[in-house]
Amino acid sequence: MNFSYPKNEKLKSKITIGLLFTDGKSVSKYPLRLVYHCGPLSDGQTIKMGVSVSKKNFKKALDRNHFKRILRETYRLNKHILTDNLDKPCAFMLFYQTKDRLSYDEINTKTIQLFEKFIAQNVKKDETDTTIIPVTK
């Protein structure tokens, strides 16, 4: 398993970010929200991830940066949940959406639950669409 978060995996393209907000879908697990859009990415990567913490909830940049650091770390340690189950490239944006100051362990647990919820809603749907055709002799 690769636990890195390399530069080419970071979501920086304004076009891709705009696509997330116009055509993206979302999955929530309080206090986190994952906005995603699956389709070809500009540089051929299989996954792109960005994180965001609202200025409305945390006025000081120090606090926003603290939670962004935690979100990036929880993604880095748990991205195998996404990469092992994705068959097409996707761009993700992870949002921290509360004024509550949760601990690292709580955020890590919620991140795992959020990734599993995403996988359950999107990947498993494709597997259940197969129909069984009876063979007659």
- For the chain, the domains span 7-126
Please state which of the ranges 7-11, 71-75, 97-101, 106-110 shows the lowest mean pLDDT.
7-11
Three-state secondary-structure class, residue 6: coil
- pLDDT computed for residue 133 by the predictor: 52
Question: Is 126's pLDDT higher than 60?
Answer: no
List strand residue ranges (DSSP E) for the chain, in order.
Answer: 25-29, 32-38, 47-53, 90-96
Residue 32 — φ and ψ, nearest 5°?
Answer: -105, 150
Contacts of 60 (CB under 8 A, 6+ apart): none
Work out the number of other CB atoms within 10 angstroms of the CB of residue 50.
22
d(CA 25, CA 126): 17
pTM for the predicted model, two decimal places: 0.84
Class of domain 7-126: alpha beta
| Contact assessment for residue 31 and residue 100, using Cβ atoms and an 8 Å cutoff | yes
